Amino acid sequence: MAQDLSLGGQGRFGGPGQNRSLERGLEVLRAFRPGTDLLGNGELAERTGLSRATISRLTQTLVTAGFLEHDRAARAYRLAVPVLSLGHAMRASSPVLRVAVPLMHEVSARLKVNVGLASPDRADMIYLESIRYHRKVSLRTVVAGQRVPIELTSLGRAYLGRLDASERQELLVRLKRAHSAAAWRSISAGIGEALAELGHSGYCWTSWQPNVIALAAPLVIAGRPLALNFSQPSGDTPAQRARLAAGLAPRLLALRDRIENGIEARTMPP
């Protein structure tokens, strides 16, 4: 069965004031990820932890509401067009993106780096915006809405640095379940180094994709934790990557400050 990495665990379907049917329906929609065209009731049951009978009722309702399409030949479901409109509406109405995106474009063009802004969702960071500068294919494929793992990326590790110790430990315990013991030892060491760097310098860096360095800094806007990053092709050795990160870090932190100040200025009363 798929690991449940939500903050509420299996108790997420019974909180006070929550509509259990609505929450379960949203879990079905969450089960669809890039690279997943069709999911049958059995696969949805495995990914959500819900019973097949419950999944059957929910998928029928979501088809009727227009949020899922049923492929009769495959006996499976895919997301329908109205889901796309929700993402567009979110991006178009975001006051954060209205301030951040022009600044991100300007810095990306001037420094010749990729710039991303992401927000946490369970075990992942979701890109709110991704400005791709480089022509290299591996650096061009990140788009708004894409998920990347918290524990492996500079964005995720920057977010971890904003959590208090108890929240961070709770999340790390859940993230650990997705990895072997040997893999987690290496990942945990990298997270420890990132947290130390964040405490000392305000940013962290990693190179989890081959020949690419990414550095990130956390920011909090109206109580919402976000992370901002730069990425570009890197040198071959850890020392070369560290020097590259150190050279870019002041510009990353300056952009973070400009975004925070710009949003604060927009929200202050006249």
For every residue of 19-53, DSSP letters joined together read -HHHHHHHHHHHT--TT---B-HHHHHHHH---HH
pLDDT band at 266 (very low <50, low <70, confident <90, very high): confident
**Which pLDDT tens digit goes with each residue over 91-149?**
999 999 999 999 999 999 999 999 999 999 999 999 999 998 866 555 557 889 999 99
Number of structural domains found in the chain? 2
pLDDT for the residue 222: 81
* CB-based contact 244:235 (threshold 8 Å): yes
User: Does pLDDT of 14 surpass 60?
Assistant: no
pLDDT for the residue 140: 58
**Shared-domain flag, residues 147 and 213:** yes
User: Does pLDDT of 11 surpass 50?
Assistant: no
- Three-class SS state of 18: coil
Q: Find the helix or strand (DSSP H, E) in which 61 lies.
A: helix 52-65
Query: Looking at residues 208-229, what average pLDDT do you find?
Result: 90
Q: How many residues are given for the chain?
A: 270
DSSP class of residue 6 equals S
User: Does pLDDT of 251 surpass 90?
Assistant: yes
pLDDT for the residue 209: 79
pLDDT band at 206 (very low <50, low <70, confident <90, very high): very high
pLDDT for the residue 238: 81
**Shared-domain flag, residues 190 and 223:** yes
Query: Looking at residues 169-173, what average pLDDT do you find?
Result: 96
Between CA 65 and CA 78 the distance in angstroms is 13
Burial 59-74 (b: 16+ CB within 10 A, else e): beebeeeebbeeeeee
CATH code of the domain in which 37 resides: 1.10.10.10
User: Does pLDDT of 41 surpass 80?
Assistant: yes
**Shared-domain flag, residues 67 and 166:** no
pLDDT for the residue 240: 85
Is residue 26 one of the residues assigned to a domain?
Answer: yes
**Shared-domain flag, residues 59 and 132:** no
Structure-token pair, residue 85: 């409109």
Structure-token pair, residue 47: 């990914």
Domain that holds residue 232: 94-267
What percent of the chain stands above pLDDT 90?
76
Last residue of a domain, which of 37, 59, 81?
A: 81
Q: Write down the residue that tokens 């088809």 correspond to.
A: 63
Between CA 21 and CA 54 the distance in angstroms is 9
CATH code of the domain in which 163 resides: 3.30.450.40
pLDDT band at 223 (very low <50, low <70, confident <90, very high): confident
Is residue 4 one of the residues assigned to a domain?
Answer: no
What percent of the chain stands above pLDDT 70?
90
User: Does pLDDT of 208 surpass 60?
Assistant: yes
